[in-house]
Structure 1
Amino acid sequence: MGDLAVGARSGTGEPEEPEGRGDAARAAADPRWPGEASRTAAASGRMPAEPVADASGAPGPSGSVGSAGSVGSVGEEGSGSVKKAKKPRAFWKELPILIGIALLLALLIKTFLVQAFSIPSDSMQDTLQRGDRVLVDKLTPWFGSKPERGEVVVFHDPGQWLNETPTPEPNVVQKVLSFIGLMPSAEEKDLIKRVIAVGGDTVECQGVGPVKVNGKALKEDDYIFPGNTPCGDKPFGPIKIPKDRIWVMGDHRQDSQDSRYHQTLEGGGTVPVDDVVGRAFTIAWPVNRWTTLPVPDTFDQPGLSQAMGAAPAALGLAGAVPIVLWRRRRMIARVRKSAESAGS
């Protein structure tokens, strides 16, 4: 009976394979089959060291861990640990960060780009009404842009213009909101007017008007308060506007303490360009008054800047005439000298 090597497997009804042949067959069919030596070592509690595949799939040194590493990962039999996904941070923890970012952006916008201002009086009616909120462009002055005729600008009090106007004491909330640009500052004394003339211009208004800039009459019916005259009750000029200063007037001429009423102060009623905060370009509030604040067409009329442009041209012509005459004399002298030389 010792010659019988094949018998039935217990409880399976399947014939057993000869020793070695079954291992070889299984190893050929399944590379993971450990073979008899491994199974024997496992049964005795002594497992031989086997190479561990690295990231390329090649076996590494005995007992070493390849760069890919399989330690702690989930194996074929589900062994190993599973790394849990990181839970998202709670919204209430992120809220302070979001508020901080929003405040920082608001502060940067208010400082360098746009700031909101409230209209406190009737001096710019009907263009602006009391209580309107306007947005002021603060970016273009950073690039050297200066106020131009016809623009509505916000500027700091150039000195004693608002001495009689009381300054309200703001509360903490108002201070915070004004600091980030959500409310106009109650502590700063700012004014809003329309630029009528700029440095180098000559401006005047006699009798009931019209206002003249460099001798050109302005047609102001489109923006001055109905029933007002261009000069209001305060004729002025002619006045030569100094360099880097502007002459401003309110659209409600008979209810505006503008450049006309401060001619006895330093600057003769003009405002330094450096005191200009920026140009008001739109009405943002209330919603039913949303509109832009463009430059009226009368400030684009031909010849308004002609006086300024003609001066350099006239100076250039005056300087060119002597040079031309001098060159002409030299040319005549050369011709005469050449003629004399030929005759001799």
Structure 2
Amino acid sequence: MAGDIVTYALALNTPIIVNAKFYVMDPKELGGATPTRYISLLDEDDQVERFYPQALVKQLQLTSPVTFSYSESDITAEFNSLINWHFPDDKGSIKKDQYDILYTILHEIIHGLGFISSWRGLGLDTPEKELTPFLVTGSDDTSITSYDIAESPFIFHGFRETIFDKFIIIKDSNGIQTRLSSFANELNQFNTSASQFIDFYDQLQNTPQYEAAKDVLIFSTTKNDFIFMPKGSNSIPDDGIILETKIKPYQAGSSISHVDSIIYNIGNPDFLMRRESILGESLNDLVIKSGNITGSAIGPKLLNILSSIGYNLADNPIKSSATKQSIVDFNLIITLCIIFITLNI
């Protein structure tokens, strides 16, 4: 069902494989998903390398002198078996105490397709002191996570955003607009020969570049500051998509990588990528209440997002600006970036 909705919206030339698990999770979480693998591609628009989800790279069918081995699945997803789910083949309508599993699966697939920001806390402290894009290193140990990062040797190769981040602008309280990528560019002015994360982190905190990381954290917790501007768009009121930046403190997995939960509420055709699901409402009911503008739960602004990052829409083929695969396959030192959808309580 969810796959049918995606296929209705996008012109896919290669199957998308989802590895899904159904098990006991935190009672407050419905599920989560992430691209199984990111691939670094050169964006010829601005000559910047960014991470693209494997699902998208396979659709681009790039010609490259480099042979790349894909992971077996494109998207890794997990769903909470503790939740009182309503399934598509259940008899009767959804009950008031049920969540529609079709809604949650579709929401998570969209994250796995690339609706995901790289910006997150760099240190081990909570709440976060700063936000940076993914940290890229030369470590050969692919099992490294944030829990053992402090003791793991690495060679710093810079910070790298996702293709989703490319289209985000920041509009501050004075109306000044700045591309989020400009903060990544500032952070990448930092250079170090530190071979341990703790030394690297100490050095970074004492540089002018660190101010950029602190500024992004402030913007990420200020209402309406992050706006996704689709490719070729000019008008924020007409084309911009307001991202979730109301949560204080910053919440990994919820902040930035969702649309604003108030603006895109029930009745808005772009409700799907809110961070909270809706109790007692089926996906079909929500589509009807939103006016069924696109013929599915993937609303017009969400279609613009998917088109901007590189997918061909079913009735509007586009061309991605990513044409070259990175020669070096770096490792990421990050926790598996699961983006969660939570209960609406």
What range is the shorter-chain TM-score in? under 0.3
Q: Provide TM-score, normalisation by structure 2.
A: 0.20
Q: Provide TM-score, normalisation by structure 1.
A: 0.20
Name which one, 1 or 2, has greater alpha-carbon Rg: 1
